[in-house]
Amino acid sequence: MRTTIEILQKIFTQRFYIQNTGFFLVLFYLLFGVVDGGNLISYHTSLMLGFLGSYTFLLIVLLLWGLYGLKCVGFILKTFQLQGYEFLYPTMGSIDKPMRRRIWLLLHTAIYMPVLVYAGIAAGVGIVHGHYLPVAMIVVFNVVMCIWPLLLYERKLHQPDVLFFTGHLQRWLNKHFTKPPLLFFLYELFTNYPRRIFSVKLFSAGVLWLTFFLLAQMDFDIRGLQLGIILSVLLHMQLMLHHRSFDDTYLNFVQQLPVPLWRHYIRVTGIYALLYLPEMVMIVVNAYGKTSLPGLLTCFVVAVSLLVLFRCLLYFSKIDAEIHLRYVLLISFVVLFMILGKYEWPAVLLLQAAAAIVFLAKYRTYEPLPKMGS
């Protein structure tokens, strides 16, 4: 049984944290990177007392925790639907129900643990300062968030073909619309993984909002905005990994179609230009009048160039999530220093040249990762 639990931990817990590396990097930046190290404890103590002392603030915090909980639930449920993981049904079904429920609880709390740790510290602070009712709300909320998903996991195990609302939406769209290749991946995200793209866009908007908030405290500098854009782009890493998995599973035949390589490259560029469009709308709304239109165009081009290059790196067949992260961070630091030196357009040219070279060299010869290693 111990071996089975270890295997399940690798399938669920380890894969969850690897696939959401970008998400946790941005979260770490928001919680710890924006505060001086000497004030870190007082900052978080004040933040906790803030939502413990205001029910409106507390409801917002609980909503964010709930969204993260839905993200955890969605990940476990979607894993059962991935090709190569069909063995999970007979494996989990052969375990006694009491033991299986304990395993579900172990797996769910392992990926929900960041919230449990922070909520536990907040509850301790609340007890010390006499906020007993908010502490009770936090405890009850997190107990519920750890218990109710077990019912969903059991239902999925016994009814593997259950369709949720996204399944009905997908059927309706397939019936009424013919999608161009440019929209294949975006359609996949919005119909089958709405929580994933929603969480990425929510935290990406949070990073940009924080960037504009900090810039409002000083003279507006386009380079500060571009720093926020780089962090926002890093948050999209999990979507790139999912894009790779989607192409491996459904679109590997596209590589062999008699279509010029440059058209494939434009398609990939178009996907990420559309994907980053909501952030650009937010940037234009908040930065209009504070910088020039060429400056806004530079921001958009830098963001799309980074996204395309980060995606093209995954055309190296042996690059896994950990190696990909190393290259992504290295490239981001180089681009950051070029931006600080006001070499934005040379950086764009280097990014586009590198992306095009990698794409043209690897696209036709790319071989998908083994399913169990993705």
Q: List, for residues 45-74, the tens digit of each pLDDT value.
A: 888 999 999 888 899 899 999 989 988 888
pLDDT at 261: 85
pLDDT above 50 (res 372): no
- pLDDT for 165: 47
Q: Measured between alpha carbons, how far is 247 from 184 in angstroms, rounded to an integer? A: 10
Sign of the torsion formed by the C-alpha atoms of 151, 156, 159 and 164: positive
What pLDDT is attached to residue 243? 87
| Res 373: pLDDT | 40
* 34-48, 75-89, 170-184, 324-338: least confidently modelled range: 170-184
Question: Between residues 172 and 310, which one has the greater pLDDT?
Answer: 310
Q: Which pLDDT value is given to residue 151?
A: 87
In the predicted model, is pLDDT for residue 14 greater than 70? yes
Q: Is the pLDDT of residue 124 over 90?
A: yes
Q: How confident is the model at residue 270 (pLDDT cuts 50, 70, 90)?
A: very high
The average pLDDT across 221-232 equals 87
Q: Which long-range contacts (CB under 8 A, 24 or more apart) does 36-43 make?
A: none
Q: What's the confidence (pLDDT) of residue 181?
A: 77
Give, to the nearest 10 degrees, the angle between helix 97-128 and helix 40-52: 100
pLDDT at 19 over 90: no
Q: What phi and psi values does residue 221 have, to the nearest 5 degrees?
A: -130, 120
Model pLDDT, residue 146: 92
Lowest-confidence range among 180-189, 263-272, 364-373?
364-373
Of residues 78, 63, 81, 72, the one with CA closest to residue 23? 72
Q: What was the pLDDT predicted at 369? A: 64
- pLDDT at residue 218 is higher than 50: yes
The whole-number pLDDT of residue 365 equals 82
The whole-chain average pLDDT of the chain stands at 84
Q: Would you kindly state where each structural domain of the chain is located, as residue ranges?
A: 1-164, 182-363
Res. 273: pLDDT tops 90: yes
Per-residue pLDDT band for 171 (boundaries 50, 70, 90) equals low
- pLDDT tens figures, 89-111: 888 888 888 888 899 999 999 99
CA atoms of 155 and 145, how far apart (whole Å): 17
Is the separation of the CB atoms in 11 and 3 below 8 Å? no
Question: Does the pLDDT value for residue 32 go beyond 80?
Answer: no
Percent residues over pLDDT 90 in the chain: 26
* Helix (DSSP H) and strand (DSSP E) numbers for the chain: 18, 0
Q: How far apart are CA 143 and CA 145, in angstroms?
A: 5
DSSP-derived letter for residue 217 is T
Give yes or no for residue 228 having a pLDDT over 50.
yes
Reported as a pLDDT band with limits 50, 70 and 90, residue 307 is very high
State the pLDDT at residue 85: 81
| Residue 161 pLDDT level (bands cut at 50, 70, 90) | low
Give the SS3 label for residue 291: strand
Neighbours of 2 (CB within 10 A): 6
pLDDT, position 132: 92
Token readout for 72 is 């955890």
- When mean pLDDT is compared across 158-162, 176-180, 267-271, the lowest value belongs to 158-162
Higher pLDDT, 372 or 7: 7
Residue 325 in this model has a pLDDT that exceeds 70? yes
Region of residue 54 (phi > 0: left; psi between -120 and 50: alpha; otherwise: beta): beta
